Structure formats: structure tokens, C-alpha cells
Amino acid sequence: MTTALLYSPTFLLHESEGHPESPARLSEIMRALDDSNLRAQLTAIDPMPATDKQLLAVHTKEHLAHVQQIVERGGGYLDPDTYTNEFSLDAARLAAGAVVRGVDAVMTREVENAFALPRPPGHHATLSRAMGFCLFNNVAVGAQHALDQYHLERVLIVDYDVHHGNGTQDIFYHSPRVLYFSTHQYPFYPGSGHWSETGEGAGAGYTINAPLAPFTGDAGYRQIFADLLAPAARRFRPQLILASVGFDAHWADPLAMENLTVAGYADLARDLIEIAQEVCEGRIVLVLEGGYNLSALAQGTLATFRALLGDTEIADPLGAPRRPDRDLGDYVDQLRALHRLG
């Protein structure tokens, strides 16, 4: 398969000393891609900055103006977690634009699938607020672009960062055109993502949250994908799948406790690819979100790229955690019943 890599050195200019969301995250990924010779197998596509029109399709004018104002002053914190410097607006526009370009490449069959590696990340940014390291909601900008530019009726967003993508949920909570599906540790930052949050108005039923206790592990995640996500996707029949991928659910990540492995991440990517092949002719774009253990982040990204390329043999140099996976038991059945999935 042909797989696009969307990356720019501009992403490395967004920086605040000592912050966990650092340029080292992408530098380590790119080093690992080069060391493994995997980068040569990918189709490199240069992102273009998102336009005001594309950003304002999912954000308020006030939000865009606020970010611009802070950056023009040389940067500063938008909330206790979310920083900017003089380069952050350029990086954030390019981050959202990377997903837009990935959508274009997949929709026009320039490539079969794509993985965008933007910084800053995006899924916590709401309609009107930057938060959780995120300035603009990259995956939401890409989804809305797909709906507008290609006149799609249905886009599925799958979010398996360890933190709930409250911003993505917020932006599409009243829309029947976007099915938002999230697995995340709960209760945990940002405090949203309870199973009872299922959408409102015309969007009622188009949000599916699968909040998870710590130490769920590979088997539990795959059970959620097989028994909840797959039937939901078959019912919704999306014309495109976007995925917010966070490697902070890895067992070695310092910010969470979900026990996934590198091999588990490869399996989840393959599961998503199979769903995409079944329901939307393989059209899928992955988007990097979190991940703060540099080794787990880099190796998880490599494994995911290998899955996108169709490789079946995935090495896991970090191994498995000592703690066994949880058995989700009746929990998945309860979520299936809630969402009338049989």
C-alpha cells in the first residue's frame, strides 16, 4: 500500500522549555523512521497552512483572534497547560493543514492512506478555546474539510489517545454527519467522556464514548474495537475515517496507565484499516495526538506506519508490562446495548 507521511520541520519551532509536549517528540519519531529505513518507504507530502476559512469552519473568530494576539506579543500561556511562542501560530496552522492535505491525498487516491504528524496536537481544542497542549483542533479541521470539499455525508472519527478528545466531541456534538468514537482512561483529564455523553439534538446518538479503567491493556482495547467500534462503523457507513492516535496509552507513558504495547498499537491500526476497507474503500487518515515516553512514541509510530503499509510482522522492542490486562466482561455488552448495537 502507498502511505503518506505529513510532516514539517516548522512543527519543531513550537517550544517551551521543560514542557512535556516538546519538539523532541517529533525529532525522536523522525530519527526512528530514518534509522529503520522506513521513511524511504513512505510518500512524503508537504503540508500547507490551514486557511482562515478552514479554521473558522470549526472554531470561532474570537478564538482565532485570541491565539493570533498572544503569538504576536511573542507568546505566552493560553491556559496552565497550553503554551505559545512566536512560532506557534505558523506551526498550528500547518498542523491543521497537514490533516487537510492528508484528507485530500486519500480522497483523490494520490495515496491509499496517510499518517499526519502535527505539532501542536489538537483534539482538546474546542470551538472557542485552546487547552490541553492544543491550539486548533487538527482532526476536526480535516473532518470538516472532507465534508465541505468532497460533499461527504458521513465521517467517522476514532480517538484512541489516552485522554478524551473533548474538543472534537464539542465541535461535532450536534452533528449527525460525524460519528465520534473515543476510548480513554476515565476519570482522567479533561474530565469529559462519560458513557452517557452520546450527542444532542440532530447529533443524538452520534457520539460513542468508551471510558476505561486503568490497565485495560491490548486485549480490552481490541475487544472494544471489535465489539463496539466495528458494528457502529458498519451501521454508520462512513465515507472516510479519521483517527486521533495517542501513544500515551502505552504502558511506559508517564502521564497515564492503560497498559497498551507497541504490538497492541499495531493491532489497533490493522483493525482500523480492516474497518476502513470494509466500509469506505480503505480511506483512512491517522493524526498524531499525545505520547510522552519518547521510546514508546517512536516505536508505536513506526509500528503504526508498518501496519498502514501492510506489514504483518511488527517488532516490539519495549515488550509487555508485568500487570495483566483487564477482562472487560459485561462492560462492552452494556455499551452495545446503550448504543443499540445488538
* Catalytic positions, written as ranges: 124
- Do 54 and 122 touch, CB atoms closer than 8 A? no
The strand pairing partners of 243, in sequence order, are 158, 286
Cα gap 89→69, rounded to integer Å: 10
3 state DSSP class of 53:
helix
Strand 178-185 to 240-245 pairing: unpaired
Which residues are CB-contacts of 105 (< 8 A; sequence separation ≥ 6)? 4, 45, 111, 114
Distance CA(219)–CA(37), nearest Å, equals: 30
| Cell numbers describing residue 221 | 482495547
Scanning 108-225, the segments in alpha helix (DSSP H) are: 138-149, 166-172, 217-224
Picking from 208, 90, 94, the residue whose alpha carbon sits closest to that of residue 141 is 94
* Helices vs strands, H then E, count in the chain: 11, 10
Give which of 309, 306, 332, 312 is closest to 226, Cα–Cα.
332
Q: How far apart are CA 42 and CA 337, in angstroms?
A: 41
Do 164 and 192 touch, CB atoms closer than 8 A?
yes
N-to-C CA span, the chain: 34
Residue 186 three-state SS: coil
Name the residue type at position 286. Answer: L
The 10 Å CB-count burial string (b at 16+, else e) for 68-91 is: eebbeeebeebeebbbbbebbbbb
Element (H, E) at 276: helix 262-279
Q: Write out the three cell numbers for 85.
A: 511562542
